[in-house]
Amino acid sequence: MVISAVSSRVESLSSSGIRAIPKEYIRPQEELTSIGDVFEEEKKHEGPQIPTIDLKEIDSEDKVVREKCREALKKGAVEWGVMHLVNHGISNELMERVKVAGKAFFDQPVEEKEKYANDQASGKIQGYGSKLANNASGQLEWEDYFFHLIFPEDKRDLSIWPKTPSDYIEATSEYAKELRGLATKILSVLSLGLGLEEGRLEKEVGGLEELLLQMKINYYPKCPQPELALGVEAHTDVSALTFILHNMVPGLQLFYEGKWVSAKCVPDSIIMHIGDTIEILSNGKYKSILHRALVNKEKVRISWAVFCEPPKEKIILKPLPEVGSETEPARYPPRTFSQHIQHKLFKKTEEALSKKV
């Protein structure tokens, strides 16, 4: 049976019973040496580990207790740019509802999901999709996804949200509202950590009206040759902050001090990334870490990433003047969010082309 990788969903490829993956999914030779078995990787306890930050005391009346909690968050953002958040204030019940609803959507047959297919060529980016091959490399990723804007509520298009299961809209909307509150709290601690006023970073990324929360449910089917593929290739997030839930199947890896570190599965936690936007505004004090997702042959992995992004054109992102100094000049040129994305794409295409020469 010949399966076209271009027209197939990864889920269809996976369930077709193929034993060898199409060549578009095979990573370049130099990358293959770093791809190991994700379950083995997760068991490793030696070496640096992603910090777990307990937010229980983030608003404590006791100044010393409060500052200790906030310092830990700041330290995580400076040293890693990624962390497991616990006691973040969002109930397990709500997170569970979001996960049950997302999984129920993906549990439907591919034909059902195709009714929600996006159309990237015509600019319809919301909906069900898979990565299209980048022209330069032709490389594909072992995942399908569902992508849609979930906050602010007046910018949502509920007509494209999954109608099945029936709790999807309510659970996801409630979660979006709660996450938006958590984002404000985190941004205020990060602002204070830079010596800025509490509301400054929130304002710089667009505030309540303009900061967009986009959810991407990543669905990684079982892969017959996980040692050859990646679910998501190495990248840094362009967002201000990213919040991630997952179904307790390992897969996320972070590139820390020259090595790939596998994220452990921490119950009831939310993984949070500092994205490029905050890295730029903070002139590199807070880090946007390189990361990727491995796949495996035994279990489907699902993750729910919510990207908190500034508006595409309205804001020029550049290091805040208060953050730099004469000894620390601005490390990033001024760019809109959209120009920043274009710049990254351009760099990536150039790299891919240079490898082909």
Q: Where on the chain is the footprint of Fe ion (CB under 5 A)?
A: 237
Supply the Cα-derived Rg of the chain in whole angstroms.
20
CA 70-71-72 angle, 5° bins? 90
**Residue among 140 and 196 whose Cβ is closer to Fe ion:** 140
- Cα 109 off chain centre by: 25
Which CB atom, from 160 or from 234, has the smaller least distance to Fe ion? 234
Please list the active-site residues.
216, 235, 237, 291
Question: How far is Cα 154 from Cα 256, in angstroms, rounded to an integer?
Answer: 39
Least gap, CB of 306 to Fe ion (angstroms): 11
**Nearer to Fe ion among residue 235 and residue 335 (C-beta):** 235
Whose structure tokens read 């995942």? 143
DSSP letter, residue 231:
S
Q: How many CB atoms lie within 10 A of CB 323?
A: 17
Closest CB 236 distance from Fe ion, rounded Å? 7
Please report how close the Cβ of residue 243 comes to Fe ion at its closest, in angstroms: 11
Smallest separation (angstroms) from Fe ion to the CB of 93? 26
Q: Which helix (H) or strand (E) holds 247?
A: none
Alpha helices for the chain (secondary structure H): 10-15, 29-32, 38-43, 63-79, 92-106, 110-114, 168-193, 200-204, 207-210, 276-281, 337-356
The residue nearest Fe ion at its CB is 237
Nearer to Fe ion, 237 or 279 (CB): 237
Residue 237 vs 276, nearer CB to Fe ion? 237
**Which token pair is 293?**
């997702």
Which residue is it, tokens 């969010």? Answer: 337
Whole-angstrom distance, CA of residue 285 vs CA of residue 281? 9
